[in-house]
Amino acid sequence: MSNLVPAHGGKGLVNRMLEGAELAAEKKKAETLRKIEMSPREAGDIIMLGTGGFSPLEGFMTKADWQGVCENFLLADGTFWPVPVTLSASKEDAGAIKIGDEVALMHEGVLMGTMKVTEKFEMTEENKKYECEKVYMGEGTPTAEDFWKIAMDDHPGVAMVMNQKPFNLAGPIKLLSEGEFPTKYAGIYMRPAEARKIFEKRGWNKIAALQLRNPMHRSHEYLAKIAVEVCDGVFIHSLVGNLKPGDIPAEVRVKCIDSLVQNYFVPDKVVQGGYPLDMRYAGPREGLLHATFRQNYGISDMIIGRDHAGVGDFYGMFEAQTIFDKIPYPEEEGKALICKPLKIDWTFYCKKCDGMASLRTCPHGKEDRVLLSGTMLRKMLSEGGNLPDHFGREEVLDILRAYYQGVTDKVEVKLHGAATGDQK
């Protein structure tokens, strides 16, 4: 009997991945099916659906599920879920597909899966704007008017939704390929069942996850070590899907984490893993999504710091923490979110404290603090600037400097309030 938290939804890990003879037969059948090209985000989503990462979902959402998730964080059956997981299709494809048809789901020439279409529904401009305002609009833009003044230019998640094809297809999927992730990130990429086996073998019960999309700097290290103090261990879980232009590639971030774990952690208190999603940059809602699918990996506590999964100044500094206090917790067994937030204040290096500290523990002023931010780190390194003392470990900075020396197409990195300390 496992001591880990149960998978979300009360159905165990929902595995939709085929193997062996079943896989061969489905691939052969897929040759005869209409092909639907998926976006990078949808390709990551189908892998999570197939491997149990998005349990209890069996496929892409119906209109009732989409509506319920946008409006009140609940699937049509009353199960908590924070972010839509949908599959878009062109008008031509949607018109040609009948309810009950099966389709082959492709990404960049690779057959990723098949789906039985149980529903198709139009996503008008109004529907897309509704999703964006419900899911991506935060306290940083208090009105819809403020939000739309900047969202299309400055929010990659909003652009992703607004540029979707005009129809959504819903239905259960079968996963036929995990793409390049198992080979490109061998030893890092793992399915929920694989992570659970590792945790069970170590005898862990209370486990914290650290979400990473930036290289691991001193603040991340400090957050992970706080988690180790209060949990059995920490799962450093990196996004290995697509990011926005200017972000640092996953393979470079993995090297940075390896260096830190080898030199600054007790090895048997840390597990490093990777997952295949694209960032949505949905801030508070994405913090909830991170906790929801981490529960499927066996995680009991999700580290939530300042501006979790944010972009620009769209979200309040700790909005991703306070949202956990506002969501519904259904009473029916398995339908509520069990993974809890491990809320940690803004952390930094304080010269007067002579060590890492937070707003809760340090009485000194901004002038005494080395403010640690992934955005600031990327900006300074990309521009060849000198980093202040204690911003990062030298082993990590050496890896990053070597990466930036080889970058010829540099993207301007915009600073925002959460990166500079101007936001309160």
Hey, which residues are catalytic here? 213-214
Tokens of 319: 């909005």
**Which run of H or of E encompasses 169?**
strand 167-175
Helical spans, DSSP H, in 19-155: 20-30, 40-51, 63-72, 91-96, 125-135, 144-154
Give percent helix, percent strand, percent coil of the chain, each to the nearest 5: 40, 20, 45
Separation between Cα atoms, residue 36 and residue 179, nearest integer Å? 16
Using an 8 Å Cβ cutoff, are 251 and 403 in contact?
no
Helix 125-135 to helix 144-154 angle, to the nearest 10 degrees?
Answer: 100
Structure tokens at 281: 């940059």
SS3 356: strand
Q: Would you tell me the crossing angle of helices 394-405 and 374-382 to the nearest 10 degrees?
A: 50
DSSP lists the bridge partners of residue 184 as none
> 63-72 vs 125-135: helix axis angle to the nearest 10?
40
Cα separation, 79 vs 8, in Å, equals: 9
Structure tokens belonging to residue 313 = 């100044």
| Preceding amide of 56 cis, omega within 30 | yes
Q: What is the rounded CA–CA span in Å between residue 23 and residue 29? A: 10
Produce one character per residue of 354-385: b if its CB has 16 or more CB atoms within 10 Å, e if not. Answer: eebbbeeebeeeeeebbbbbbbbbbbbbbeee
10 Å CB burial of residue 151 (0-12, 13-18, 19+) is buried
3-state secondary structure 14-45: CCCECCHHHHHHHHHHHCCCEEEECCHHHHHH
